[in-house]
Every structure is written in C-alpha cells, then in structure tokens.
A = this chain, B = another copy of it.
Amino acid sequence: MDTVKVALIGFGTIGTGVAKILFGQRERIARAVGRNVELTRICDKDTQRDRGVKLPPDVLTDDLNAISNDSEISTVVELVGGIEPARSIILSLLKSGKNVVTANKALLATHGSEIFDAARSYNRSVSFEAAVGGAIPVINAISTALQANELRQLQAIVNGTCNFILTQMEEHGTNYATAVAEAQRLGYAEANPAMDVNGTDTVQKLAILAHLGFGVKLNWQDIPRTGIDTVEAIDIVYAKRLGYRIKLLAVAEATPDGIELYVSPTLVKIDTPVANVRDSFNIVRIVGDVAGDIVLQGRGAGELPTASAVVGDMIDTILGRAKITFDILNLWGKERPVTKIKNPAEICGKNYLRFLVEDRPGVLAEIAGILGRHKISIASVLQQQDNESDDSPATLIFMTHISREGDTIAAIDTIDSLACVRGKTVRMRVE
C-alpha cells in the first residue's frame, strides 16, 4: 500500500486530537483513503510540553521549513488559530504546493478572499469543516448534499461556551458572572472569554456560513452583533415564564430585500430543537427551498470532536474530493455572484427590552411613549423592584410586537439618555 505524508502546524488541544487519531487509528484511516497516512511532522513553538501522545522521533519540530520544504508532504493542517502568523503560514504553505485543512474561523472570516484566491492561483484546496460547529458536518452538507437548494434560512448556535453559560444560568438560577466562573472552572471558557461572550466568535462563523450558503460577501464586523454578556438571571426567568429559552443565535434569512444577518441573544420557544440544545452542544438549522427544514447538531468543540472534522477534511483532501468541491464552489471568488445584504436598520422583528429605571411615577409612561413615537407597539410589560427600599431602581421588561431594527435602536438610544434610566438597555430578539 502507498503512503501519503501529511503534517500539522499547531500542537494544542485540537492538534493533539488529530495526532491521537492519526497515530492511534492508522488502519481505519488507511482504509478510508486507500493509502497509509503518515503524520511526518508536527510544528509548534513548544516542543517540550507533554501532550499525552507518544510521537515517533523527529516528528515534533519548531521549524516550519521542515514542512514547507518537504515536497512529499501534500496536505497540511493549520491549527495555530488567530490572524497572524496563521495567515502568513497558510499563504506560504499554498505557495509551496500544499493543500490546507484549517479550523481557523477568524482567519477565513477576515481574509477568506486572500486565502482562497491564493489557493486557486496555486491550484490547491482549502478545507474548513472544523471552523464551524466542531464535529457537525455542516460545511460538508451545504457544500455538497444540499447543493440542489437555495437556502431560505439558517439559525445556529455555534458557540459552545455561550450555550454552556446560558444553560448553567437556566438550570441553576445563577447570574451571569457565576455561570462564567463555572464555565472557566470546567474548562469551557478561557481565562479571557471576551471573544466568545461578546459574540465575535459567533459572528465570524456566521460570516463563513452566510458566504457559503447564501453567497453574501461582507466584513464580519458589519454584521449586527450582541453578545450574552448583558444577559442576567431575571432575563432567563422572565423568558421561561413566557415559554422561551435564551440562546445566542446566529441568523441568516433570505428576504425580498436581501439577506438578513445578525447575532443576538434570542428568546426561542421551548420545545423547538434549537431551544433544546444544552451545554456546549451546537446546532445548525437550515431551511432549503426544496429540502425544507434540516437540523444538524452535535459537539461544537473539544479535542476529539473537532479533530473528527479535521481528519474528515484530510481524508477528503487526499481522496481528491475536497479539490473538486473547492473548485466548483469558487468561495470568495471574484466571479462568484454576490447576494445583496439587507440593510440592518430595515430588519424587522419582535424584541425583549429590559430597562433599569428610577422607581417614580411617570417613568413607565415616558418609556412607553418613546417606544410609541418610534412605532414600536408593546405586547406585554413586567415591572419588578429588586429591593423594597424607596430609592432602589426598578426593572422594567417590555415584549414588543414586530418593529424595524432602525426604530428599535433609535428608541433605545433615546431611552438610554433619559435621566430616569440607569445603565444601558438590554435588548434581545424574540423568535
């Protein structure tokens, strides 16, 4: 049996999972590609730390050239993460004739055009199943099996850290800070969880899915984004009372005015598949015009689940399927027809609004009046005072009927500037 040589750059959590599969399951992988697959090089700055995988001698190196200059290595996995040096590494790998497999959503969302153009100019492929949804084969499904469809809608929970925090808050009645601390203690959140909880990670994944599935081309920074860092225990309680759970959703939806895109904590009806995704699991719900509703769920992170996607891409690359898919999709290609994006201010929907206000007569009327002047009609109101003392602030929660995003933002801006309002309004979408 022939042997094909592959390499890995970035020997962290996922890299360790990839090495475990490739060294531990040689026979299985050989059967899957019809050749022996030899992981000949792993490159990482840190060549000392024990990752719990026994490596043959000379595999671990800190010299990138050991990979770039080895013409027998055809496929390289990039798991460095972040923008630089990952960007330069991938461009240089493509230039030296390697096919690339990556899990790097930040890089693809930011420099997809450059990376994919480079791959095309060197006649190589880039695969990225592991960049979105961990083990869930969502990139593959959209890229291949669902190609007869025009996508109408996509709703996704693609950040396991946020979903774990929200699940903790719901199940244990804890507040946001306590849930974050618990997520950190259990290894679900990093020491600095900002990129997860502020929605950046989710919005980058949405940018990739929206390009792949809906043909939109945009800076991920331009997608309206709200994180979960403003969600509090009272929100979870009130949502539950109304029959909802709060989930950080990435949404893309085709409308006559273009594709609606946003990331926001969202009240989703209990008993829907999306609401029932717990802990660090991920879900992607896709509505195709011919397939109808398709739901894919699974582990969105973790050493082995993400490595499953990486090794799947590696198998696809060695077999030559990845190149066929890469060529025909022409992702981020100049000739690819670009779909219109809907002006975010024109997106319409229901909202959940929470205000912290002075507890005195006239405040509720003032806020309701501002909402009314912005054509936002109110479906229900809850007023709650945390503390019986006279000067403690009161919490006001409004559920609105459908309104324009632009009107909602303008109304919130006006309300937030009122003297009787303490802090910033918390806003979530309602499905």
A residues sitting closer than 8 Å to B (CB atoms) are 17, 21, 25, 28-29, 32-34, 129, 135-137, 140-141, 144-150, 271, 273, 276, 281, 288, 290-299, 302, 304-305, 307-309, 311-312, 315-316, 319-321, 324-325, 328
Contact = CB atoms under 8 A, between A and B. Distances in A.
Number of identical monomers bound together in the oligomeric complex: 2
Interface centre among A136, A146, A315, A320 (most CB of B within 10 A): A146
Contact of A140 (B140, B291, B324): B140
Given A21-B290, A295-B297, A324-B319, A137 B141 contact: yes
B304 A299 contact: no
Q: 10 closest A-B pairs (Cβ-Cβ)? A: A137-B145, A148-B311, A135-B291, A291-B308, A294-B298, A140-B145, A290-B308, A290-B304, A32-B147, A292-B299
Given A273-B273, A315-B147, A293 B299 contact: yes
B308 A33 contact: no
B319 A328 contact: yes
Nearest to A215: B31
B312 A148 contact: yes
A21 B29 CA distance: 37
Contacts of A307: 148, 290
A291 B276 contact: no
Contacts of A291: 135, 298-299, 304-305, 308-309
B276 A312 contact: no
Given A141-B141, A328-B33, A288 B146 contact: no
A143 B192 CA distance: 38
Most buried by B among A129, A137, A271: A137
